[in-house]
Amino acid sequence: MNTDNLITNIIEGIENVKGLNINILDLRVIDNVACKYFIICSGNSSTQVNAITGSIRKCVSKEIGEKPWHIEGLENSKWVLMDYIDVVVHIFNEETREYYKIEELWEEANSTLVESKY
Protein backbone atom coordinates (compact mmCIF):
# COMPACT_ATOMS: atom_id res chain seq x y z
CA MET A 1 0.00 0.00 0.00
CA ASN A 2 1.28 3.46 -0.91
CA THR A 3 1.17 5.54 2.28
CA ASP A 4 0.99 8.89 0.44
CA ASN A 5 -2.01 7.67 -1.56
CA LEU A 6 -3.66 6.44 1.64
CA ILE A 7 -3.14 9.83 3.33
CA THR A 8 -4.53 11.66 0.29
CA ASN A 9 -7.68 9.55 0.34
CA ILE A 10 -8.13 9.91 4.11
CA ILE A 11 -7.88 13.70 3.78
CA GLU A 12 -10.39 13.63 0.91
CA GLY A 13 -12.78 11.61 3.06
CA ILE A 14 -12.50 14.15 5.88
CA GLU A 15 -12.97 17.11 3.56
CA ASN A 16 -15.97 15.55 1.81
CA VAL A 17 -18.01 15.99 5.00
CA LYS A 18 -16.34 19.23 6.13
CA GLY A 19 -14.14 17.83 8.89
CA LEU A 20 -12.26 20.53 10.76
CA ASN A 21 -8.66 21.33 11.75
CA ILE A 22 -6.93 18.53 9.87
CA ASN A 23 -3.40 17.92 11.15
CA ILE A 24 -0.94 15.34 9.85
CA LEU A 25 1.72 14.25 12.33
CA ASP A 26 4.75 12.56 10.78
CA LEU A 27 5.91 10.17 13.50
CA ARG A 28 8.82 8.73 11.52
CA VAL A 29 11.16 11.19 13.28
CA ILE A 30 10.41 9.51 16.62
CA ASP A 31 12.01 6.21 17.62
CA ASN A 32 9.92 3.14 18.42
CA VAL A 33 6.45 4.29 17.36
CA ALA A 34 3.73 1.91 16.23
CA CYS A 35 2.84 3.74 13.01
CA LYS A 36 4.25 6.30 10.57
CA TYR A 37 1.53 8.96 10.70
CA PHE A 38 -1.35 10.26 12.76
CA ILE A 39 -4.06 12.21 11.01
CA ILE A 40 -6.13 14.21 13.46
CA CYS A 41 -9.36 16.06 12.73
CA SER A 42 -12.53 17.27 14.40
CA GLY A 43 -16.26 17.24 13.89
CA ASN A 44 -18.84 19.54 15.45
CA SER A 45 -21.06 16.72 16.71
CA SER A 46 -21.17 12.96 17.15
CA THR A 47 -23.18 12.84 13.93
CA GLN A 48 -20.40 14.59 12.04
CA VAL A 49 -17.73 12.40 13.68
CA ASN A 50 -19.66 9.35 12.41
CA ALA A 51 -20.02 10.94 8.97
CA ILE A 52 -16.27 11.58 8.79
CA THR A 53 -15.57 7.98 9.75
CA GLY A 54 -17.92 6.67 7.08
CA SER A 55 -16.56 9.04 4.45
CA ILE A 56 -12.96 7.98 5.11
CA ARG A 57 -13.93 4.30 4.88
CA LYS A 58 -15.74 4.91 1.60
CA CYS A 59 -12.98 7.01 -0.03
CA VAL A 60 -10.15 4.69 0.95
CA SER A 61 -12.04 1.54 0.01
CA LYS A 62 -13.23 2.91 -3.32
CA GLU A 63 -9.92 4.43 -4.44
CA ILE A 64 -7.32 1.98 -3.13
CA GLY A 65 -9.31 -1.02 -1.93
CA GLU A 66 -8.10 -0.85 1.67
CA LYS A 67 -10.17 -1.31 4.81
CA PRO A 68 -9.14 -0.23 8.30
CA TRP A 69 -7.52 -2.95 10.35
CA HIS A 70 -9.40 -1.73 13.41
CA ILE A 71 -11.92 0.97 14.36
CA GLU A 72 -12.87 1.93 17.89
CA GLY A 73 -14.90 4.64 19.59
CA LEU A 74 -18.08 4.47 17.52
CA GLU A 75 -20.15 3.78 20.65
CA ASN A 76 -20.13 7.43 21.73
CA SER A 77 -18.37 9.08 18.76
CA LYS A 78 -16.38 11.51 20.87
CA TRP A 79 -13.07 10.05 19.72
CA VAL A 80 -13.00 7.53 16.90
CA LEU A 81 -9.72 5.82 16.03
CA MET A 82 -9.24 4.24 12.61
CA ASP A 83 -6.13 2.06 12.28
CA TYR A 84 -4.74 1.61 8.77
CA ILE A 85 -1.45 0.16 10.19
CA ASP A 86 0.96 2.84 8.84
CA VAL A 87 -1.60 5.62 9.35
CA VAL A 88 -3.85 6.02 12.39
CA VAL A 89 -6.73 8.49 12.09
CA HIS A 90 -8.09 10.24 15.19
CA ILE A 91 -11.52 11.83 14.70
CA PHE A 92 -12.56 13.95 17.68
CA ASN A 93 -15.44 16.10 18.66
CA GLU A 94 -14.01 19.55 19.49
CA GLU A 95 -14.39 19.25 23.27
CA THR A 96 -12.64 15.87 23.46
CA ARG A 97 -9.80 17.03 21.20
CA GLU A 98 -9.25 20.07 23.41
CA TYR A 99 -9.26 17.89 26.54
CA TYR A 100 -6.71 15.31 25.33
CA LYS A 101 -4.46 17.69 23.36
CA ILE A 102 -3.01 14.79 21.37
CA GLU A 103 -0.89 17.11 19.21
CA GLU A 104 0.90 18.30 22.34
CA LEU A 105 1.56 14.72 23.44
CA TRP A 106 3.30 14.11 20.10
CA GLU A 107 4.94 17.52 19.75
CA GLU A 108 8.22 15.91 18.61
CA ALA A 109 6.50 14.85 15.38
CA ASN A 110 6.59 17.00 12.27
CA SER A 111 3.18 18.62 12.02
CA THR A 112 1.40 19.69 8.82
CA LEU A 113 -1.88 21.55 9.04
CA VAL A 114 -4.09 20.96 6.01
CA GLU A 115 -5.44 24.18 4.55
CA SER A 116 -9.22 24.17 4.94
CA LYS A 117 -11.30 24.41 1.79
CA TYR A 118 -14.16 25.97 3.79
Mean pLDDT of the chain: 95
pLDDT score at 116: 75
CATH number, residue 68: 3.30.460.10
Sign of CA dihedral 80, 83, 88, 89: negative
Q: 118 lies in a domain?
A: no
User: Rounded mean pLDDT of 40-47?
Assistant: 96
Q: What are phi and psi of 99, to 5 degrees?
A: -65, -45
**CA–CA distance, 26 with 106 (Å, rounded to integer):** 10
The yes-or-no verdict on residue 117 having pLDDT over 80 is no
The residue range of the domain holding 14 is 3-113
Task: Read off the DSSP letter of residue 87.
Answer: E
Q: 44 lies in a domain?
A: yes
For residue range 64-116, list pLDDT tens digits in order: 999 999 999 999 999 999 999 999 999 999 999 999 999 999 999 999 999 87
E strand segments, 1-118: 20-26, 37-43, 70-72, 79-83, 87-93, 110-113
